[in-house]
Amino acid sequence: MQSKQYSVKVYECSVDDEEEFISFFDTNYTLFKDHLILINGEVSSTIRDYLNSKSLIFLNNVTLPKGRTRKALEEELSIERRERDIDKIMAKIELEKLSNRLQNNLTVLDEMVRSGRELAVDGDLLLLNRVNSGAVIHTTGNLIVTQLVEGAIRCDGNFMILTTSSKANVIFHDVEVDNKFLADRLCRVELKNKEIVITPVFQKETNWVS
Residues near 58 by Cβ (< 8 Å), separated by ≥ 6? 36, 37, 38, 39, 43, 51
- In single-letter form, the type of residue at position 108 comes to V
Query: Alpha carbon of 148 to those of 6, 122, 167, 183: distances in Å?
Result: 33, 22, 11, 9
CA distance 161 to 182: 10
| pLDDT reported for residue 94 | 44
3-state DSSP percent of the chain in helix, strand and coil, to 5: 25, 30, 40
| pLDDT reported for residue 203 | 53
CA 117 to chain centre: 17
What residues of the chain score a pLDDT lower than 50?
Answer: 94-96, 204-210
Instruction: Judge if pTM exceeds 0.75.
Output: no
| pLDDT reported for residue 204 | 46
| pLDDT reported for residue 208 | 45
CA distance 151 to 136: 6
